[in-house]
Amino acid sequence: MKTILLILLLAVAPAWAADSLAPKLDIGKGGQCVDDPKFMRTNHMKLIVHQRDETMRKGIRGGKYSLANCVECHASKVNHSVLGSNQNFCQGCHAYAAVKIDCFECHSSKPREFRKASVLAAKDMK
């Protein structure tokens, strides 16, 4: 129910409605999103979700919609992650929307400079 409500709000509501109901998110580093934030709010899942197959077959990596790129900007300056609390960018909105994301079981939730070695991170590196 909450999810349906949020989706409706994201789709049709004016900015003030989304702002007053949305969780307080730690946007991260700042700068300019890869696309219009309003567009991103409703379409990010289409942009990043299984690009994977295409990416691996054609060898395209690290484009503007790469997951690693999102993390570079949206990781909190406090804990250097997009996860960890309900202020953290991906986790915060997803907890609110009650939508699970399993991406970070394999992908790092931290920007490059705060990772250990590889592009894909183990669970204990979150």
Q: Does 11 bind ligand HEC (CB under 6 A)?
A: no
Binding mask 25-64 for ligand HEC (x = CB under 6 A): x-x--xxxxx--x--xx--xx-xxx-xx--xx----x---
Question: Based on CB atoms, which residue is closest to ligand HEC, 97 or 125?
Answer: 97
| Residue 29: half-sphere exposure toward Cβ, Cα within 13 Å | 15
**Phi-psi region at 82: left, alpha or beta (left = phi > 0; alpha = psi -120 to 50):** alpha
- Closest distance to ligand HEC from the beta carbon of 85 (Å): 14
SS percent in the chain: helix, strand, coil, step 5: 50, 5, 45
Determine if 95 is a binding residue for ligand HEC (CB under 6 A): no
Q: Which amino acid is at 41?
A: R
28, 75 in Cβ contact below 8 A?
yes
**What is the amino acid identity at position 71?**
V
Where do contacts with ligand HEC occur on this chain (CB under 6 A)? 6-7, 22, 25, 27, 30-34, 37, 40-41, 44-45, 47-49, 51-52, 55-56, 61, 65-70, 72-74, 82, 89-90, 93-94, 97, 99, 101-103, 105-107, 119-120
